[in-house]
Structure 1
Amino acid sequence: MTDQKKITILRVTHLRGPNIWTYRPVIEAWVDIGSLEDFPSNTLPGFVDRLKAWLPGMVVHRCSEGVHGGFFQRLDEGTWAAHILEHVTLELQNLAGMKTGFGKARSTSTRGVYKVAFRTRQEQVGRAALTAARDLIEAAINNTPFDLEKTVEPLREMVDDLCLGPSTAHIVDAATERRIPNIRLTEGNLVQLGYGINQRRIWTAETDQTSAIAEEIASDKDLTKALLKSCGVPVPEGTLVRNAEAAWEAAQDIGVPVVLKPYDGNHGRGVSLNLRTQSDVEAAYALAHRKGGGSSVIVEKYIAGNEHRILVVGRQVVAAARGETIWVMGDGVSNIDELANAQINTDPRRGSGEEFPLNVVIPSETGEVILELERAGLTPQSIPAKGHKVLIQTNGNVAFDITDELHPSVAAAAALAARVVGLDIAGIDMVLEDASKPLSAQQGAVIEVNASPGLLAHIKPAQGQGRPVGKAIIEHLFKLDRDGRIPVVGITGTLKTGRIARLVAWLAHISGKHVGLACSEGLYLDGRQVEAKDCANWEAGQRLLINRSVQAAVFENTSHTILAEGLAYDKCSVGVVTDVGWQKSLAEFDILDTEQTYKVARTQVDVILPTGTAVLNSADPQVVELAALCDGKIIFYGMDPQSSVMAQHREAGERLVYVLDDQIVLAEGAQEIAMLPLASLKPAKASQPEMVMAAVAAAWALDISPELIGAGLRTFESNPKKTPY
């Protein structure tokens, strides 16, 4: 139809760090709403009703009204397509399982063209949601069919494939609560927490403290059992066998009933319990042998009770869950597969994804269930009589929280088992009659020690209270007074910021730190140029932050970098702003004057930690305005110590850097802390006092002593030797 109204997506940019919109990564889309500029939502027949019917969940969007239903209120009053696109994109991400909430839409200097920014946790998902949102809005406007479920399903699949798994995300969220930064190192679940030398790494429930030797021990069930037994941890009697005949012989020696399980198995796969006859043992051997990939099979004494998973972090038990057996009740009509679907799989807690605490049960596709049924003379196609109860599973389903019920002696045995194996994070599988009773009062035992244990059963149990296991892991990795950060300095403006960055990095290096520097003059480590090209960008910055030898990092951030990529770090210790200078190249981003450039420069100040410092040029009125936005302290620098800005700051007892009688003065209130003669500096530096003052102030903000600052100024080399990276 020629009169259909359309939204054209002109360009899409992923801002991967703090930016002019927010502290978090966002996607910024430029969109042209065309003729819709003349048609706010309340003028489009039926549009608002269709949109509300398709996406009723948007009622919780508070919008600028700040109240529940605020966005719907805006729709009713009349709002424009770009604003609607922002909210629909956010809602589609939420429906796909990737929770987000921040978004903004702003008009540009071109009529009908808007910038739409929205939070996303994964770029590809965000881009796909944006396109889908555009299609949905156009369908609602033009009253054409739209299949919401067909649209959301591929987004869900993308979230499952591309986003952090729920266990890793839970740990990362706990780190964020502690204000510990994170960097995703791969497309999988390998995540860095913290920066540089203070970083730690996790891979789901493994950490960089998890011993490879301990993991090998845990995977060797026979060795694990021997070590546990030698240290007094109760374990079931058992032996390793390599054929079905030997399995039956072992069962007779141990005494039935017995358990058979793969030597290399995990997650309960191939495990058969309470075996009493030769035929059962031989059939269980075949299953365990197959599930274990052809490895040996363990025959153990069967211990009556429920399976339990106890999570140990460090030296403490932080969560415990119990399993339960699963039964179906015959109706005289349905076979066992059908009964399982109707009576078990309808439980909303069951599913095939990681977000479900319980698995779907399909008897005909599960060897352990088939074996259990065969022992009762049944198959998955059997039709039990009405009222006849059929056992489906005796193990697994460990997702019922019992943390508060756990007896101290049981917790102590689990913690000891983890220490014996050597794991810093371990899932201890125990069979217990009653977890609330002393271990000595029951026939309980440790049956397995697992490295990289699943966390979902504790985070989101099928029953009971979810446990903050992510917080426990973060406390294990970082002492309570640590945030994994290193000193980070960010510098923005147009007045020799690259050279200022180099000088600050050198002064930090002189103080005894291994320093990384990313600036327009190259990439540097400890004053050595390791890459001779413009490195004032996000990628170069990330290279410094993941370097485990870096103890401090300095970044030059041009306005172009902030607008095109965002900052490489989430927060900084020191932020330097030399000026708010507009440049023609910023017109590419629809930044057309110094007033708009001010919003770009404030990004550097917005990310300064409350314990940090802003270093600001007192000669630029717009830079001075940024002081009010800083959560930390302020150091003003300038040539005129008598200016009103400097005088007021001095009266407040704050720090200043200025030039007086050919000396750079460091002052705090009325007290002059130190004086660095300009004559002692190399001519190139002495002729650029503003540049030197900015660098000196930044070094002072890092608590580098005036004596070391002076030494650093005298030894700074403008043309360092290149070295390979």
Structure 2
Amino acid sequence: MKIISMKTFTGRNIYSHKPVVKMLLDLEDIHDKTTVDFKMFNKRLLELFPNLVQHHCGLGKHGGFVERILEGTFFGHVIEHVILELQVILGYDVYFGKTRLHQEPSLYNVVFEYQNETVAVECAVQAIHIVEGIMKTQYVNTSNIIYDLRKIQEKSELGPSSKAIYEEAKRRGIPVRRLGEDSLLELGYGKYARFVQAALTDATSGIAIDLSCNKELTKQILMENNIPVPIGAIANSLDDAIVIADEIGYPVVLKPLNGNQGKGVVLNINTPEELEENYRIPTDYNNQVIVEKYVTGRDYRVLVINDKVCAVAERKVPEIVGNGIHTIRELVNIENNNELRGYGHEKPLTKIRLDRIALNYLERFGLHEHSVPALGQVIKLRENGNISTGGSARECTDEIHPDNIAIAINAARAIGLDIAGIDITSSDISQPMKDNGGAIIEVNAVPGLRMHLHPSEGNSINVAADILDYLYPDGTPYSVPILAITGTNGKTTTTRMVAHTLCVSGKKVGMASSSGIYIDKNCVLKGDNTGPKSARNILNSKDIDAAVLEVARGGIVKRGLGYDLADVGVILNIGDDHIGQDGIDTREDLAFVKSLVVEAVKPEGYSVLNADDPMVEYFMSRACGSIILFSRNPLNRVLIQHIEQGHTAMYTQDHHIFLCEKGEHTKLIDVSSIPITFDGNLECNIENVLAAASALYAMHTPVDMIKHGLRTFIPDIQMNPGRFNIFEIGNKKVMIDYGHNINGYKEVGKFISKLNVSRSIGVIGVPGDRSNEQIISIGAKCAELFEKVYIKEDKDLRERNPGEVAYLLHQGLLSADFNPDNIQVIPCEVEALRTAISESEDGDFITLLYEDLDPVVSLITELQNEELSKLELSLTS
């Protein structure tokens, strides 16, 4: 077996609404083998992974997977379940998997859910090694494999603070994603997006962070605000430190000028000899060392969020209890095997370190790491209780005295921190510091949340919720409105129409479409931008009030959606495009792919559907939120049933668009007053108008503003470039459109038939990824539409040979008895159009179904200027 490729879907996708990995796996020479073809395979697999008996598999019941392997199942299926089980062993709550044949005889797509991408990918690699090892009757050391996976997990997992915020955001429905491989999170969309890393938010100023890191400046500012702090000074050498200690009196504390997590801090130094012995410890972190008076008492951490004390914890030093048998080192190792202790931040407690600080501390009491404590003897291993060095925490939020609350809040304000960890030493936090000699020892800009989330004693405090309450106070939006539009035909026009209307209503709109990304009407990136990356680009913009996203099939299939949930999802129609690609073999398959757009709608949102599309009832069965139907036929059965049930709909009747809500029918607008319908002659744009109006209504756009937007959206090269744009060149007319399938050509034909043109000329082409049959049928259709045809080819041949598409179109024309003398093949699009115009006569109507818009428009502008020059010359002569 070997892995051909792996692709990650980070958001909602056609396989699952949860993140998945899609692995292309080659079973090679075992493609025709099953689990019963290898003696003892099933027994050994279940011995290694007994919990596989809980996997339901496709049978939908406990033990379903075991039944399958006992019957004999293929090995791609086995790999899928081993990947999932490895992740479950590591603590991930994952269930979804699917394995399907990709290409005969041996290529399979194995899709599996994940929560940590790095870990999931490695689980896939290890699953193959495990299964191959079992097949070859080799020894498989799953303990070592799990150990190695846990090391990867430790390095790649979010820290506990960021993870808690991530999970709380998910619970609240706030879009959240991890940026990069660190613990930086992005919350929300558009102008409501926020960044947070652990307890550090995007509102925290850099100056405040720098101040908090400089312990001496922090003390100075706190003193100026009458906040109790220990006296001390900065030493630049050992001699300086001894002088300062003599002046302030022992015991003293040594700490690096800049530091965090208690690194390099040595407490309770009582003699010059101890000071000299420990002075090098803080200098490992900074050459300048703070020497300050040691304040006796308990070690408390007070978490302040937005001028509110949200949690208080007493930090306790790491300790072990002797048994009269084991050494201190052995007792530490035993305690470190506690399942609550892990490396770094992976678990509630961190493994205890016997580092230089701990060993020096033991020496003060005549102990060393090989000493054997007596039965019941408590051995403290260091002076401070930092969680990162093995300490523990007792939750004591209800104990803090109101005076101490005020001091902690004032300390955070003085430094300028919105979130701060205030370290207090006091004999009792329930008593005012002014009465018991307590003091603030440190102010932390990025306080760890773990001690509050997972205290060793007491109840957990959900401080992640407090942070999100601060970032998004009650009633504050976390996302701009999102409107997503998909379908086969009309996506771009509908997207532009909706964005235009929202713009004229005063909103700053981000629009992703087949022509580019636009922020507040300005194109920031040209080209086809209908995939998930483009959606994320829009939603990352802090300048937008609303997002209008054109969503194409390719992006959905290849990468899923670029957003979590939309306020409005629109499906215009389903055609035969792309049948035979990416596993889409039928129109139903394509409908399944497109339906993701209406499945990913907020419960309070809307799904907008075309009642005239044959797949509408299928879409209605999958759509989320409320459903709005639109139709060009007021007698449509599905529409009538929808209206009778009291739901919202839009439809056309007697050349007007009507809105029906709760049984009340209201005339909205005259179709002929909407420019892109060309006085009601362009039927496909009437459908697009209905979709746009329905979507805007779902977005709670006022009806008068909807009408204004529709009336001011012009079908010209500025507002709707490349979609039924008509130009005059002398006494000839040229229309350009992006008709790329049989339905597009049919709509062009219907429109031309209503214009009563003297002669219709076509410059035609088809993308090469259409089937031969589709291309031939388009050629045959053109025989009905045009009296003369120029066949061109796209620059992007899409794996076709040069001339292949042109030949198929030519065959299609001939199959419909089109006069071969009226056919010319000119592969270059611009040259084909130039020839068609030059050979045409006054009154002719030339239609180009283009591939590349800009060169075509440049040619038309050039020819218009030539005509204008001729006219000016004739007038002057």
Aligned to 2:792: none
Q: 2:360 aligns with which of 343, 351, 371?
A: 371
1:134-190 Cα shifts (integer Å, max 9, x gaps)? 232233234233232443444334333334333212111100000000133333222
1:109 touches 1:590 (CA, 8 Å); kept in 2?
no
Q: Which amino acid aligns with 1:177?
A: R
**How far 1:408 moved relative to its partner?**
3.4
Q: Secondary structure at the match of 1:311?
A: strand
Matches within 5 A, 1:283-298: 283-288=277-282, 290-295=283-288, 297-298=289-290
Distance (whole Å) between structure 2 residues aligned to residue 335 and residue 670 of structure 1: 83
Q: Which amino acid aligns with 1:715?
A: T
Q: 1:615 aligns with which of 608, 612, 624?
A: 608
1:36/1:696 CA distance change after superposition, 3 Å: same
Q: Which amino acid aligns with 2:655?
A: D
**How far 1:110 moved relative to its partner?**
5.2
Residue 637 in structure 1 maps to residue 626 in structure 2: no
Q: Which amino acid aligns with 1:430?
A: I
1:324 touches 1:394 (CA, 8 Å); kept in 2?
no
1:670-705 Cα shifts (integer Å, max 9, x gaps)? 433342222222256641211121112111111112
Return the structure number with greater relative CO, CA threshold 8 A, min gap 6.
1
**How far 1:80 moved relative to its partner?**
4.2
Aligned to 1:250: 244
Residue 17 in structure 1 maps to residue 11 in structure 2: yes
Aligned to 2:199: 205
Aligned to 2:178: 184
1:389/1:126 CA distance change after superposition, 3 Å: closer
Q: Which amino acid aligns with 1:294?
A: N
1:702/1:331 CA distance change after superposition, 3 Å: closer
1:562/1:34 CA distance change after superposition, 3 Å: same
**How far 1:613 moved relative to its partner?**
0.8
Aligned to 2:502: 508
1:313 touches 1:473 (CA, 8 Å); kept in 2?
yes
2:396 touches 2:458 (CA, 8 Å); kept in 1?
no
Q: 1:309 aligns with which of 298, 301, 318?
A: 301
Aligned to 1:598: 591
1:481-516 Cα shifts (integer Å, max 9, x gaps)? 345111111111101212211221112222211111
Aligned to 1:581: 575
- TM-score normalised per structure 2: 0.75
Larger deviation: 678-687 or 470-479?
678-687
Matches within 5 A, 1:281-680: 281-288=275-282, 290-295=283-288, 297-327=289-319, 338-339=329-330, 341-342=332-333, 344-363=335-354, 366-376=355-365, 383=371, 391-397=380-386, 398-409=391-402, 410-439=404-433, 442-583=436-577, 585-680=578-673
Q: 1:689 aligns with which of 686, 690, 704?
A: 686
Larger deviation: 274-283 or 37-46?
37-46
Query: Once the two structures are aligned, what percentage of the paired residues are identical?
Result: 33
Residue 719 in structure 1 maps to residue 711 in structure 2: no
2:595 touches 2:623 (CA, 8 Å); kept in 1?
no
Distance (whole Å) between structure 2 residues aligned to residue 46 and residue 353 of structure 1: 41
Distance (whole Å) between structure 2 residues aligned to residue 517 and residue 317 of structure 1: 42
1:185/1:716 CA distance change after superposition, 3 Å: farther
Q: 1:29 aligns with which of 23, 26, 31?
A: 23
Distance (whole Å) between structure 2 residues aligned to residue 476 and residue 78 of structure 1: 55
**How far 1:712 moved relative to its partner?**
1.9
**How far 1:384 moved relative to its partner?**
6.2
Distance (whole Å) between structure 2 residues aligned to residue 89 and residue 399 of structure 1: 35
Q: Which amino acid aligns with 1:661?
A: D
**How far 1:334 moved relative to its partner?**
7.5
Distance (whole Å) between structure 1 residues aligned to residue 101 and residue 4 of structure 2: 14
Distance (whole Å) between structure 2 residues aligned to residue 87 and residue 245 of structure 1: 65
1:535/1:259 CA distance change after superposition, 3 Å: same
Q: Which amino acid aligns with 1:355?
A: E
Q: Secondary structure at the match of 2:301?
A: strand
1:244 touches 1:285 (CA, 8 Å); kept in 2?
yes
**How far 1:318 moved relative to its partner?**
2.6
Distance (whole Å) between structure 2 residues aligned to residue 411 and residue 126 of structure 1: 45
Residue 705 in structure 1 maps to residue 698 in structure 2: no
2:395 touches 2:455 (CA, 8 Å); kept in 1?
no
**How far 1:34 moved relative to its partner?**
6.8
1:37/1:246 CA distance change after superposition, 3 Å: closer
1:525-570 Cα shifts (integer Å, max 9, x gaps)? 2233332211111111111111111211111222222111101111
1:617 touches 1:637 (CA, 8 Å); kept in 2?
yes
**How far 1:21 moved relative to its partner?**
1.7
1:266/1:123 CA distance change after superposition, 3 Å: closer
Q: Secondary structure at the match of 1:588?
A: coil
1:483/1:160 CA distance change after superposition, 3 Å: farther
Q: Which amino acid aligns with 1:512?
A: G
**How far 1:97 moved relative to its partner?**
5.4
Distance (whole Å) between structure 1 residues aligned to residue 468 and residue 63 of structure 2: 37
Aligned to 1:4: none
Distance (whole Å) between structure 1 residues aligned to residue 319 and residue 675 of structure 2: 85
Distance (whole Å) between structure 1 residues aligned to residue 316 and residue 668 of structure 2: 75
1:34-60 Cα shifts (integer Å, max 9, x gaps)? 786766546653222211222234455
**How far 1:452 moved relative to its partner?**
0.9
Q: Which amino acid aligns with 2:286?
A: G
1:518 touches 1:556 (CA, 8 Å); kept in 2?
yes
1:418 touches 1:449 (CA, 8 Å); kept in 2?
yes
1:227/1:72 CA distance change after superposition, 3 Å: farther
2:154 touches 2:346 (CA, 8 Å); kept in 1?
no
1:514 touches 1:550 (CA, 8 Å); kept in 2?
yes
Distance (whole Å) between structure 2 residues aligned to residue 580 and residue 198 of structure 1: 34
Q: 1:221 aligns with which of 203, 215, 220?
A: 215
1:269/1:108 CA distance change after superposition, 3 Å: closer
Distance (whole Å) between structure 2 residues aligned to residue 587 and residue 359 of structure 1: 54
Distance (whole Å) between structure 1 residues aligned to residue 335 and residue 664 of structure 2: 77
Distance (whole Å) between structure 2 residues aligned to residue 328 and residue 166 of structure 1: 25
Q: Which amino acid aligns with 2:171?
A: E
1:628-680 Cα shifts (integer Å, max 9, x gaps)? 33231111111101211121222223222222222222332443334222222
**How far 1:68 moved relative to its partner?**
5.6
Q: 2:234 aligns with which of 219, 235, 240?
A: 240
Distance (whole Å) between structure 2 residues aligned to residue 421 and residue 104 of structure 1: 53
Q: Which amino acid aligns with 1:697?
A: S
Distance (whole Å) between structure 2 residues aligned to residue 340 and residue 250 of structure 1: 38
1:658 touches 1:665 (CA, 8 Å); kept in 2?
yes
Distance (whole Å) between structure 2 residues aligned to residue 62 and residue 445 of structure 1: 58
1:512/1:431 CA distance change after superposition, 3 Å: same
Larger deviation: 697-706 or 400-409?
400-409
Gaps in structure 1 of 5+ consecutive residues:
1-6
C-alpha RMSD of the superposition: 3.0
2:608 touches 2:694 (CA, 8 Å); kept in 1?
yes
Q: Secondary structure at the match of 2:570?
A: strand
2:320 touches 2:378 (CA, 8 Å); kept in 1?
yes
2:327 touches 2:373 (CA, 8 Å); kept in 1?
no
1:204/1:58 CA distance change after superposition, 3 Å: farther
- TM-score normalised per structure 1: 0.90
1:109/1:167 CA distance change after superposition, 3 Å: same
**How far 1:238 moved relative to its partner?**
2.5
1:195 touches 1:484 (CA, 8 Å); kept in 2?
yes
